[in-house]
Amino acid sequence: MARLPIFLALAFLVSPHAASAAERTVTLTVDNMYCEACPYMVKKAIEHVSGVSKVTVSFKDKTAVVVFDDAKAGVKDLTSAATNAGFPSALKS
Ligand SMILES: [Cu+2]
C-alpha cells in the first residue's frame, strides 16, 4: 500500500501526455438557464466529472462546450452531471 502514492505521483507526471491523446471536445445543449448565475452552476457541475479539463458555458446560446479525457468520462457523464444539477442537457447535434 505504501507504493500507491508513488504510483499516483508518477501517473500524475505523465498524465498530460496521456490525456491529450484521448482529449475530446463536445458541445452540449443546456436547458433551464434563466439567469446569469445558472451558467456558473452548470460549469461547476460539469467540472466535477472526472476527466473534465475545461467547461465554457454560454448563457446566450444555452450551450456548454466541454473538453474532457474520453478515457475517463463519456458524454453521458457530462449530460447527467448537468441534468442532475437541474439543467437538462444533451449532446448538440
Ligand atoms: Cu439562474
Q: Is 29 within a domain? A: yes
* pLDDT for 4 beyond 70: no
Of 93 and 29, more confident: 29
Q: Is 43 within a domain? A: yes
What's the predicted TM-score (pTM) here?
A: 0.77
Confidence category of residue 52, pLDDT binned at 50, 70, 90: very high
User: 31 is in which domain, residue-wise?
Assistant: 22-91
Q: Is 27 within a domain? A: yes
Question: Rounded to the nearest whole angstrom, what is the distance from the C-alpha of residue 26 to the centroid of ligand 1?
Answer: 23
Q: Is 38 within a domain? A: yes
Question: Rounded to the nearest whole angstrom, what is the distance from the C-alpha of residue 36 to the centroid of ligand 1?
Answer: 6
Which residues crowd ion ligand 1, with CB under 5 Å?
35, 37-38
Position 2 scores a pLDDT of 59
Average pLDDT of the residues in 44-70 = 98
SS3 for the chain, per residue? CCCHHHHHHHHHHHHHHHHHHCEEEEEEEECCCCCCCHHHHHHHHHHCCCCEEEEEEECCCCEEEEEEECCCCCHHHHHHHHHHCCCCEEECC
Q: Is 15 within a domain? A: no
- What is the total count of domains within the chain? 1
* pLDDT for 19 beyond 50: no
In CATH, what number is assigned to the domain containing residue 83? Answer: 3.30.70.100
